[in-house]
Structure 1
């Protein structure tokens, strides 16, 4: 099933803002993630620890469709934690169509100082 660019960016933003509920819906259990504060996780581990951010802006967006079932995105994420502290990172995610649904299968972040 095709997904629009807008819908994909909306899904990625949901992961930042909604935390675990969005992770359960959108992240493959065997996804691989590299996160600066916690290291390498699979999708199930990331879902367990996922909490939403107070605010998140995804800018400098890039998107490439390698074929009809795989989409890679890269962007700058600027977010605010619920305690008000700021976080900025360059991020990359890969989505794969599985049975008509799009699931995140890879995500990485590089902190911007």
Structure 2
């Protein structure tokens, strides 16, 4: 998968509807998200997304792509995402895709880490 397509695919995971998410997430996927239960299976993540409003606007930064072996893509990036009437959400993310067949990819790992908030303690 070419870089431009990788980033369009990743963006679609933030903005696409629940049906698209179901098609893109592998049944064996594991996710770590900043809300309970924090560690989720693919099925749990799909259900959480189905019940959550999609993001209206997203912007990626610090984008990196690695291809450690044939049929495996790892991405890392910063994101700022917005929903109508809500504060922007920022996080550092990774996703891993595996190729199922020619031009068919599934997410097998995703994590989001919001920036740490300084507490002023030394």
TM-score scaled by length of structure 1: 0.91
Q: How does 1:59-78 map to 2 (within 5 A)?
A: 59-78=61-80
Unmatched 5+ residue regions in structure 2?
118-122
Corresponding residue number in structure 2 for 1:15: 13
- 2:36 pairs with 1:49: no
How far the C-alpha of 1:10 sits from its partner, in A, is 0.5
Unmatched 5+ residue regions in structure 1?
none
| The one of 95, 109, 112 aligned to 2:112 | 109
Radius of gyration: which is bigger? 2
Structure (1/2) with the larger strand percentage:
1
SS at match of 2:85: coil
Aligned residues: 111
Name the Cα RMSD after superposition. 1.2
How far the C-alpha of 1:61 sits from its partner, in A, is 0.0
TM-score scaled by length of structure 2: 0.85
